[in-house]
Amino acid sequence: MIHHSAVIHPKAIVPASCEIGPFCVIGPDVRLGDNCQLYSHVVIDGHTELGGHNQVFPFTSIGLKTQDLKWKGGITRTVIGSHNTFRESVTIHSATGDGEITRIGNHNQILAYCHIAHNVVVGNHVIMSNVATLAGHVVVEDNCIIGGLAGVHQFCRVGKFSMIGGCSKVVQDIPPFMLADGNPVEIRMINKIGLERNGFSDETISAIKQAHRIMFREQLSVSNALSKIEAEVPPLPDVLHFINFVQSSERGISR
């Protein structure tokens, strides 16, 4: 299942169950899992590992050298889980510092022309729409949706089950369970439809809505809003995750 025009280094690990299409290039330090499919004109290089059942569409580039000007050499890695889809012309870069990793989880849909920069960490079940961009050191938690043409600034975090609207400019953390949109981005409401679709209980959605109202509608400082949430909102696991996310923010949260 390897096209005769593909160029695969003898040291690369490519299981027999993989399909490698025309004009693909695979470097010496690449390891593919079972049943990966590279359609055509795909480049995978660097110290890069993909799990099983990944689909990689034409003109995608994975694992090449970071664009970060701080790169000084060494061994950097790109580690990708299983059951991901990378559509046309996606670029995923390796980390910057020796021993560091760009990491992507499982069951993600990365649509055409998206960019995932050095040292990014992407969780599971994430959707990035066309031309969405993650700058260096961004962290995206599970089950997020990032709209087309949205840009996320370096070192920002995107909390789980949040949604970012298309063409948004994100320069601070997006708390979990929120719907954010705009340039610069603002928190508009909770991601109610997304929570319902993912089986969140009415009790949990109500508690998240209450936390949202206190944090984003009552014109309190972040510290005072957190104190009020801790005092008044039921301490459900997802509410505690919201509180911990905000408390641990280094760039501050989008409001």
Q: Which CATH class is domain 7-190?
A: mainly beta
Task: Dump pLDDT digits (tens) for 153-165.
Answer: 999 999 999 999 9
β-strand partners of 151: 133, 169
CATH architecture of the domain 196-247 equals Up-down Bundle (1.20)
Task: Give the mean model confidence (pLDDT) for residues 65-79.
Answer: 97
| Mean model confidence pLDDT for the chain | 98
% of the chain at pLDDT higher than 70: 100
pTM for this model (two decimals): 0.97
Task: Give the mean model confidence (pLDDT) for residues 137-161.
Answer: 98
What's the pLDDT at 17?
98
Residue 243, SS3 per DSSP? helix
Task: Dump pLDDT digits (tens) for 3-33.
Answer: 999 999 999 999 999 999 999 999 999 999 9
Q: At what angle do helices 202-217 and 222-232 cross, to 10 degrees?
A: 150
* Neighbour order of strands in the sheet with 139-140: 30-32, 47-50, 77-80, 101-104, 121-122, 139-140, 157-158
pLDDT confidence band for 92 (50 / 70 / 90):
very high
pLDDT confidence band for 232 (50 / 70 / 90):
very high
- 163 backbone dihedrals φ, ψ, rounded to 5°: -135, 130
CA distances from 80 to 48, 83, 107, 213 (A): 8, 10, 10, 37
What's the pLDDT at 48?
98
Q: Which tokens hold the place of 47?
A: 């110290």
Q: How far apart are CA 228 and CA 209, in angstroms?
A: 14
pLDDT confidence band for 182 (50 / 70 / 90):
very high
Only one residue has tokens 């989008």, namely 254
What's the pLDDT at 193?
97
Per domain, the residue ranges of the chain are: 7-190, 196-247
% of the chain at pLDDT higher than 90: 100
